[in-house]
């Protein structure tokens, strides 16, 4: 066959070996889904929902949104100038480029949970350390993503700005940023969604918000409140996604 190549056969074999090896390491066994009775019994304890604490949980949801919003917004504000320094076509020199890329890689490689453990231990429990933890990680993630958008931007407007004597930063502001701004907003709202889900983990270690309530309710077997927590989390993520798509439509 024309489409068949030895390299493709080797790739398929390697992937198959990786899949089989990974399944053995993770004890991957679909037969465990045969008994749905235990799962059904467990989920039945979630209903009917206990709405008595809904006002308090709604307040905790607003706190979760506030933490995620601040962590994403401040992360974007700091990452935006750093991303221009981490892009090959807009960085001043090789040293600045390398140092900035290393900084972004370091911040990106440390999970929010680790930042949260450090900050919650040093600053105390509460939402503020959770905000800082999300900011740190978002700087690394957004900085990398935006720098790649900058590198793929059209060079024509930048060259035109340079031809009329504009400085590097003026050129970046008026030639590059308008090209990438819709995608920057898309990345921001995605990170906003991720931050909401991340706060569920940070809530386990005292970061506040609906994640902390979810952990408490699970730990104390209050499953009828767990269902309310999960519903509020779903609503938050859907609303952020809808709001992000509408704002992006307006910008485009």
CA distances from 231 to 25, 128, 236 (A): 34, 25, 9
What domains are there in the chain, each with its CATH number? 56-251 (1.10.3720.10)
Q: How far apart are CA 224 and CA 241, in angstroms?
A: 27
Question: Which tokens is 202 given?
Answer: 């940070």
Q: Which of 160, 188, 184 is nearest to 174 (CA)?
A: 160
Angle at 140 between CA 242 and CA 252, to 5 degrees: 35
Contact 100, 82 (CB under 8 A): yes
pLDDT score, position 165: 61
pLDDT at position 36, please?
A: 65
**Residue 94 has what pLDDT?**
86
- CA dist 150 → 91, 142, 144, 202 (Å): 10, 12, 10, 32
**What pLDDT sits at residue 172?**
66
Cβ(210)–Cβ(229) under 8 Å? Answer: yes
Q: What is the pLDDT of residue 106?
A: 92
What is the full per-residue pLDDT of the chain (252 aa) written as tens digits?
455 566 778 888 899 999 999 988 888 877 776 666 666 777 777 787 777 888 888 888 888 889 989 999 999 999 998 988 888 877 778 888 889 999 999 998 888 888 888 888 888 888 888 899 999 999 999 999 998 888 887 776 666 666 666 566 666 666 677 788 888 888 888 888 888 888 888 887 777 788 888 888 888 888 888 888 888 888 888 888 888 777 777 765
């Amino acid at each position: 066959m024309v489409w068949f190549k030895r390299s493709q056969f080797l790739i398929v074999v390697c992937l198959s070996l990786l899949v089989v090896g990974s399944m053995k390491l993770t004890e991957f066994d679909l037969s465990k889904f045969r008994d749905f009775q235990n799962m059904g019994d467990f989920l039945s304890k979630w209903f009917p929902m206990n709405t008595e604490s809904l006002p308090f949980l709604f307040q905790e949801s607003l706190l979760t949104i506030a933490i995620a919003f601040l962590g994403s917004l401040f992360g974007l504000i700091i990452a935006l100038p750093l991303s221009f320094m981490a892009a090959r076509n807009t960085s001043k020199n090789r040293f600045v480029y390398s140092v900035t890329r290393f900084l972004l890689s370091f911040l990106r490689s440390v999970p929010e949970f680790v930042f949260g453990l450090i900050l919650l231990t040093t600053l105390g429990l509460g939402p503020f350390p959770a905000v800082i933890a999300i900011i740190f990680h978002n700087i690394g993630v957004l900085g990398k993503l935006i720098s790649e958008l900058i590198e793929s931007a059209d060079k024509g407007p930048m060259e035109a700005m340079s031809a009329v004597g504009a400085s590097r930063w003026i050129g970046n502001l008026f030639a590059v940023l308008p090209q990438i701004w819709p995608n920057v907003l898309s990345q921001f709202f995605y990170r906003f969604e991720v931050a909401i889900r991340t706060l569920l983990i940070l809530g386990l270690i005292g970061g506040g918000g609906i994640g902390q309530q979810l952990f408490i309710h699970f730990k104390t077997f209050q499953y009828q409140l767990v269902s309310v927590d999960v519903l509020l989390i779903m609503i938050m993520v859907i609303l952020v996604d809808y709001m992000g798509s509408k704002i992006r439509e307006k910008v485009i």
